[in-house]
Amino acid sequence: MLGRVIGVYDSGFGGLTVLRALRARLPEHDFVYLGDSGRAPYGGRDADTILDFSEQCVERLFEEGCALVVVACHTVSCVALRHLQQRYAPEKDSPRRILGVTIPAAEEAVSKSAGHIAVLGTARTIASRTFDAEIAKLGPHRVTSRAAPLLAPIVEEGWEDSEVARLAIAKYVEGLETADTLLLACTHYPLLERTFCEVVPAHVRVLDPGPAVAIALEGWLARHPGYVARGRGALRVLCTGEPETFRQHGERMLGAPLPAVQHVALIDGRLAHRERVEIPTGQVVRPSTPPPR
């Protein structure tokens, strides 16, 4: 067996909504989740930066004993998945494999839509036009994509069920009334699903792609025996940001208590091991050598 645990990589804690769907579908598998929360959000970053960050995170998950990594972040999946696959899994039988969320999400939207799909995501996801391209491969559907950069911060603030959320969603879906399917292409948005359903017209199906990603993964595992050993539903969680903040947000995303969150330090812009760093209050004075003159 090449791997003993399935890796799930996300730019922060949003991917825990995907992990929630994966664990519900595959309760006998062990997972290790890496959230790059110290550098989140990725949404406004340039492509080169996203490639660098995603290489580091995927390599860390390989180190953790993963032969299979699921990129749960829509931004990374839209921008960097092909690069990651060519770099780490160039052959059909490469000992490591990397899967994303874009294609399962696109397939699910196409299977549900009568002809017009609306896609909401981060600025970077939408600018990549990856959903337009992937949906175009599957059928003649019309696609209307729109960046909704305020929605993830609203979820992070815990304001999903607020008038602020309802008004923001109403602004973002303005003019999308002819769509019959609204794809939530950001891992934060499933927490807004109920609010979306309140705001959009009744004929619009609001689609959280998480369950479709889980079904696709189940099918992949069945077709690729030997990549991942079954386990006992264990979960480890790593993050590059502040673990306690991560835990607080993460439990809402996962819909369940999180195990102790392990901190992965960022040193000179790269992931590294080290002990958890306490966040000091007040101004920070760090011992340092004199700078070059």
Q: What is the DSSP string of 104-141?
A: HHHHHHHHH-SSEEEEEE-HHHHHHTHHHHHHHHH-S-
| 177 HSE (CA, 13 A, CB side) | 4
Reading the block at residue 90, the tokens are 């160039």
Residues that bind a copy of itself (CB under 8 A): 37-40, 44-52, 55, 59, 78-83, 86-88, 127-130, 133, 149-150, 153-154, 156-157, 159, 162-164, 167-168, 171, 241-242, 245, 266, 268-270, 277, 279-286, 288, 290-291
Give Dmax (Cα) for the chain. Answer: 66
Beta carbon of residue 110, minimum distance to a copy of itself (angstroms, whole number) = 18
> Does residue 197 have an active-site annotation?
no
196 φ/ψ angles, rounded to the nearest 5 degrees: -55, -45
Q: Is 186 a catalytic residue?
A: yes
Is-cis flag, bond preceding 211, omega within 30? no
* Shortest Å distance, C-beta 114 to a copy of itself: 26
Distance CA(197)–CA(205), nearest Å, equals 8
What counts of helices (H) and strands (E) characterise the chain?
11, 12
Whose Cβ is closer to a copy of itself: residue 23's or residue 60's? Answer: 60
CA distance 188 to 155: 7
33 vs 53 by CB, closer to a copy of itself = 53
Output the smallest distance, CB 266 to a copy of itself, in A.
6
Nearer to a copy of itself (CB atom), residue 86 or residue 111 = 86
CB of 216 to a copy of itself, least distance (A): 18
CB of residue 65 vs a copy of itself: minimum separation in angstroms? 15
Kindly give, in sequence order, each residue whose CB lies less than 8 Å from that of residue 21, ignoring residues fewer than 6 positions away.
210, 211, 213, 214
List the Cα angle 217/144/69 in 5-degree steps. 20
- The catalytic residue among 73, 78, 197, 239 is 73
Q: Which is nearer to a copy of itself, 153 or 201 (CB)?
A: 153
- Please tell me which residue in 57, 66, 78, 186 is annotated as part of the active site: 186
Give the residue with the Cβ less far from a copy of itself, 90 or 257. 90
Question: What amino acid positions are annotated as catalytic residues?
Answer: 73, 186
